[in-house]
Amino acid sequence: MIQISVDGSDPHPVNLEDVFADSYRSFLLDVLQSTIYPGWPDLVQSYQHYEIELSDMSSRLVTETGYVLNLIAHADATAHATDKPPVLTNLADRPAVDLYLGNVWRPIRHVIDGSRNVPSLAEFADVDKALQACGKGIVDMWSSLGVRGHRISDDQLYLSVNEPVR
């Protein structure tokens, strides 16, 4: 077992917090303050101002949403490893969290908190279904950014783009 002593404390087994905490937290803060806000509303407005194509804007928004949720999950895991509060708790006043990510992440965090680290196969299916239901929060977040999808004839998706909430 590898042990570490941090700031003169008694040695303890190395955990995720010791290895990754500062990098995940600082990277998340950078992403919240640039990529998410003002980045996402600026991205939507760049489409509205004919600076980029709809497909480019929507593709970036979908991809970046996945990346940032993955980053939050990793940052939360490192915080959880040492019984610290979820990472967005102390960042709730940031526009990126207050306007967009807070309402997306809270239900996901609730599902994760109610699940075992290594669920059985039957439990995994239930957790997966519960996490998929959290997708409504992502759709609501995109709506607050002014991007709304609608099914039209032949099961096609139509995107409408309005002014983002800032």
Ranges of each domain in the chain: 12-161
3-state secondary structure (DSSP) of residue 13: strand
Q: What is the rounded average pLDDT of the residues 40-69?
A: 96
Prediction pTM value: 0.82
What pLDDT score does 6 carry? 57
What pLDDT score does 22 carry? 66
pLDDT tier for residue 70 given thresholds of 50, 70 and 90: very high
- Report pLDDT digits (tens) over 93-146: 999 999 999 999 999 999 988 887 777 888 888 888 999 999 999 999 999 999
For residues 40 and 20, give the distance between their C-alpha atoms in angstroms, rounded to a whole number. 26
Sign of the alpha-carbon dihedral angle for 136, 141, 144, 150: negative
Which structure tokens are listed for 73? Answer: 């999950």
Q: What is the rounded average pLDDT of the residues 74-86?
A: 82
Which residues fall within 8 angstroms of residue 32, CB to CB, at 6 or more apart? 91, 94, 96, 97, 101
Residue of higher predicted confidence among 10 and 109: 109
What pLDDT score does 5 carry? 55
- Report pLDDT digits (tens) over 14-32: 665 566 656 778 889 999 9
What pLDDT score does 8 carry? 66
Identify whether the C-beta of residue 69 lies closer than 8 Å to the C-beta of residue 30: no
Quote the percentage of the chain above a pLDDT of 70: 88
3-state secondary structure (DSSP) of residue 95: helix
Quote the percentage of the chain above a pLDDT of 90: 54
